[in-house]
């Protein structure tokens, strides 16, 4: 398992470091190592199994009442990146997700990915494109429930989550075809 980048942000938006690192790890993907093909999307010219990777996190900041999760490709040639997964209202008691997890079974809200389907949408950069960086982020939130519904865009949910997060843990893994 790999250590990941972490930040603990105070509600005022100032960054502080805590003695316990809020960290995100995975048994399926590793920081800086190519994502296995099983996590590739099945469609758009890709032929993976479209499974979400196993994820686990530890040492969430004090005051965490729920989590949000995003998977984002800033290198997608769309002009605005590509949202592969957006979910919020994950209970604070949850600290891991199994491979292929259905977050709605935990009471969380999953949004449509940029593929147009709800839940995880696997990696699928254009064939022959440069390496893409996939940013899996768990956000610690100071509220039990976000006042958003399942019809909002991932960008709006991302804006809301970033504006209130008290911490985040990030795992970045590359992929290309």
Please state the length of the chain. Answer: 177
Collect all residues with Cβ–Cβ distance below 8 Å to 147 and sequence separation of at least 6.
Answer: none
Instruction: Please give the average pLDDT of every successive group of 10 residues along the chain, which has 177 residues.
Output: 36 43 97 96 95 97 98 95 98 98 95 96 95 98 96 96 97 97
pLDDT the model gives residue 19: 52
pLDDT the model gives residue 101: 95
Cα–Cα nearest to 143, from 11, 4, 8, 7? 11
Measured at the CA of 89, the angle between CA 174 and CA 114, to 5 degrees, comes to 45
Question: What is the distance between the alpha carbons of residues 84 and 134, in angstroms, rounded to a whole number?
Answer: 9
Number of H helices, E strands in the chain: 1, 12
pLDDT the model gives residue 3: 37
Of the candidate CATH numbers 3.90.280.10, 3.90.230.10, 3.30.70.2740, 1.10.287.3510, the domain formed by 5-175 belongs to 3.90.280.10
For 121, the token pair is: 């949408």
- Which residue spans within 93-146 are E strands per DSSP? 96-97, 109-110, 132-141
pLDDT the model gives residue 17: 43
Cα–Cα nearest to 29, from 63, 52, 58? 52
For the chain, the structural domain boundaries read 5-175
Q: Are 172 and 65 within 8 A, CB to CB?
A: no
Distances (CA, A) of 18 to 35, 59, 164: 30, 10, 18
Q: What is the pTM of this model?
A: 0.88
Tens digit of pLDDT for each residue in 62-100?
Answer: 999 999 999 999 999 999 999 999 999 999 999 999 999
Question: For residue 33, what is the DSSP state?
Answer: S
């Amino acid at each position: 398992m790999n250590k990941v980048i972490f930040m603990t942000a105070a509600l005022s938006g100032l960054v502080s470091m805590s003695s316990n690192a809020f960290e995100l790890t995975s048994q399926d993907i590793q920081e800086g190592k190519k994502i296995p093909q099983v996590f590739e999307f099945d469609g758009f010219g890709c032929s993976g199994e479209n499974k979400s990777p196993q994820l686990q996190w530890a040492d969430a900041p004090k005051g965490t009442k729920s989590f949000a999760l995003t998977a984002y490709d800033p290198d997608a040639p769309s002009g605005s990146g590509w949202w592969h997964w957006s979910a919020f209202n994950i209970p604070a008691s949850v600290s891991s997700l199994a491979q292929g997890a259905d977050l709605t079974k935990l009471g969380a809200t999953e949004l449509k990915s940029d593929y147009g389907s709800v839940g995880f949408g696997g990696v699928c950069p254009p064939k022959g494109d440069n390496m893409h960086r996939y940013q899996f982020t768990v956000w610690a939130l100071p509220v039990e429930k976000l006042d958003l519904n399942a019809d909002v865009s991932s960008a709006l949910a991302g804006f809301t989550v970033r504006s209130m997060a008290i911490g985040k843990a990030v795992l970045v893994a590359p992929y290309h075809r």
